[in-house]
């Protein structure tokens, strides 16, 4: 089955694109990603000059057990445009057809955007992605610029004037109204929007030194939060945009499984970008992503991803009172599976309706008390509880 997708006239052999970040930090890494089977790649954002970076610059939350997120203090590429030209030449020779997108950053003057674009345009690239979403840069650039619809429309229009290649605009989730920003990008002429970049976050505080994490010789700052923990935010941004605007969407933020990917497609995304999952699990995760998506499409009788795109949107309500507030569900414990840990009892006592008790070392639900809130199945470590209609 072909998973090919077309975006702004560009053919991607599959919808999985390496997002701008460490996995696309140089040509050999992009080539390794393409060798593994990624459908495209966005260069680590190219600024006019290589950017120095602190060490350490990432802090993984939940490391070693089940990582759930990561805060980074990265800025842009640490290699020169001259070196990028050589690196891209090498990638092109190895993978002549695979789309390469150049992520660029600028500020309040068109020349700032055009400079890197002009330099890299002859390198066989397919599109540009405007970084109006990096939360780590101060001044009116990155996420600060990307919070203002007028500025987003203006820089998108400048970028369009500077090239005939498609322009993708990568949005920040750190805004009140993501639709207003996506609309501004569309008005500026964007061919697609990428939703989203990292959330602004503070990974933690070292309680011995009171240094924010990651701590660079005792000091730290807010960084960009990525990984599975931000998926609900990124998914919400995609759904909000797709419900209102007719613009090509590329989903990004917390995708690490084929199911995540299909969920973004179901709320309107045409392609997906991944960064943190690749950093944690390697380029080879592309095999599981492709196998999973293909298997799902085949087993559900869909001929292509297009048939899944936006399928969840009609089921999304926007008014709480449109929900069925009358019918109730009931938690049911499978005594064979229950391991008697009692976590559901604690959860129901303090977060529910005091409806679960231990009987002969197994959880038992009092149907009269249970209000069907749905907390206990999510807490049960052995999946022994399910919700059924009353």
Ligand X SMILES: Cc1cc2nc3c(=O)[nH]c(=O)nc-3n(C[C@H](O)[C@H](O)[C@H](O)COP(=O)(O)O)c2cc1C
Query: Which residues are known to be catalytic?
Result: 134
Applying CB under 6 A, the span of 223-231, 312-320, 360-368, 377-385 interacting with ligand X comes to 223-231
Q: Quick one: which segment of 67-75, 120-128, 284-292, 378-386 binds ligand X (CB under 6 A)?
A: 67-75
- Fill in the per-residue mask, 138 to 167: x = in contact with ligand X (CB under 6 A), - = not in contact: ------------------------------
Q: Which residues pair with 200 in a beta bridge?
A: 224
User: Which of 20, 338 has the CB closer to ligand X?
Assistant: 20
Any idea of the CA torsion for 317, 322, 326, 330, to the nearest 10 degrees? 10
For 256, other C-beta atoms within 10 Å of its C-beta total: 20
Give me the 78-107 binding string for ligand X, x by CB under 6 A, dash otherwise: -------------------------x----
Report the residue from 252, 289, 376, 380 that binds ligand X according to the rule CB under 6 A. 252
Crossing angle of helices 81-94 and 110-120, in 10° steps, is 40
**Which residue, 234 or 380, is less far from ligand X as judged by CB?**
234
CA distance 104 to 17: 17
* Closer Cβ to ligand X, 120 or 333, answer by number: 120
Please state, in angstroms and as integers, the Cα–Cα distance from residue 141 to each residue in 104, 172, 184, 257, 347, following that order: 11, 12, 16, 32, 45
Instruction: State the nearest-atom distance from the C-beta of 204 to ligand X, in Å.
Output: 16
With CB under 6 A as the contact rule, the residue among 13, 15, 21, 212 that binds ligand X is 21
Q: Are 145 and 132 in contact (CB under 8 A)?
A: yes
Q: How far apart are CA 249 and CA 238, in angstroms?
A: 7
Q: Measure the CA–CA gap between 201 and 214, rounded to whole angstroms.
A: 11
Considering only 67, 162, 253, 310, the residue that binds ligand X (CB under 6 A) is: 253
Rule CB under 6 A: say whether 255 interacts with ligand X. yes
Sites for ligand X among residues 277-336 (CB under 6 A) = 277
Smallest distance from the beta carbon of 306 to ligand X, in angstroms? Answer: 23
Query: Which residues have C-beta within 8 Å of that of residue 272, sequence separation ≥ 6?
Result: 15, 16, 17, 250, 251, 252, 255, 261, 264, 265
Using CB under 6 A as the binding rule, whether residue 203 contacts ligand X is answered as no
Evaluate whether 171 touches 197 at the Cβ level (below 8 Å).
Answer: yes
Nearest to 126 by CA among 88, 71, 154, 90: 88
Q: Is 20 in the site for ligand X (CB under 6 A)?
A: yes
The CA distance from 238 to 247, in Å, is: 11
172 binds ligand X (CB under 6 A): no
Name which position in 106, 227, 310, 372 contacts ligand X (CB under 6 A).
227
Task: With beta carbons less than 8 A apart as the criterion, state whether 22 and 44 touch.
Answer: yes
Q: Does 254 bind ligand X (CB under 6 A)?
A: yes
Of the two residues 39 and 352, which places its CB atom closer to ligand X in the complex? 39
Half-sphere exposure for 207 (CA within 13 Å, toward CB): 0
Binding stretches for ligand X (CB under 6 A): 19-22, 44-45, 58, 70, 72, 74, 76, 103, 131, 134, 170, 197-198, 224, 226-227, 230, 252-255, 274-277
């Amino acid at each position: 089955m072909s998973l090919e997708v077309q975006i702004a006239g560009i053919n991607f052999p599959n919808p999985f694109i390496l997002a701008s970040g460490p996995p696309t930090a140089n040509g050999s890494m992009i080539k390794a990603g393409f060798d593994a089977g990624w459908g495209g790649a966005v260069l680590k954002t190219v600024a006019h000059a290589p950017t120095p970076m602190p060490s350490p610059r990432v802090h993984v939350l939940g490391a070693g057990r089940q990582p759930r997120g990561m805060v980074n203090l990265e800025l842009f590429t640490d290699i020169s445009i001259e070196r990028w030209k050589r690196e891209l030449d090498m990638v092109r020779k190895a993978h002549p057809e695979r789309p390469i997108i150049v992520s660029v950053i600028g500020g309040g003057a068109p020349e700032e955007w055009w400079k890197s674009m002009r330099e890299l345009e002859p390198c066989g690239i397919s599109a540009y992605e405007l970084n109006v979403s990096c939360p780590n840069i101060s001044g009116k650039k990155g996420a600060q610029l990307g919070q203002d619809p007028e500025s987003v429309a203006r820089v998108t229009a400048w970028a369009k004037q500077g090239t005939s290649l498609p322009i993708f605009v990568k949005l920040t989730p750190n805004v009140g109204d993501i639709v207003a920003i996506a609309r501004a990008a569309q008005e500026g002429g964007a061919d697609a929007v990428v939703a989203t970049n990292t959330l602004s976050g503070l990974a933690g505080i070292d309680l011995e030194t009171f240094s924010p994490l990651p701590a660079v010789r005792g000091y730290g700052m807010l960084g960009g939060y990525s990984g599975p923990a931000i998926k609900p935010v990124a998914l919400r941004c995609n759904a909000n945009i797709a419900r209102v605007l007719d613009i090509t969407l590329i989903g990004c933020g917390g995708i690490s499984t084929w199911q995540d990917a299909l969920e973004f497609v179901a709320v309107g995304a045409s392609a997906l970008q991944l960064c943190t999952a690749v950093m944690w699990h390697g380029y080879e995760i592309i095999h599981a992503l492709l196998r999973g998506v293909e298997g799902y499409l085949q087993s559900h009788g869909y001929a292509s991803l297009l048939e899944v795109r936006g399928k969840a949107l009609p089921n999304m309500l926007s008014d709480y009172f449109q929900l069925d507030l009358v019918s109730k569900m009931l938690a049911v414990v499978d005594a064979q599976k229950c391991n008697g840990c009692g976590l559901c009892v604690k959860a129901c006592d303090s977060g529910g309706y005091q409806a679960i008790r231990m009987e002969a070392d197994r959880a038992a639900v009092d149907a009269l008390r249970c209000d069907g809130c749905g907390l206990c199945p999510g807490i049960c470590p052995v999946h022994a509880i399910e919700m059924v209609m009353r």
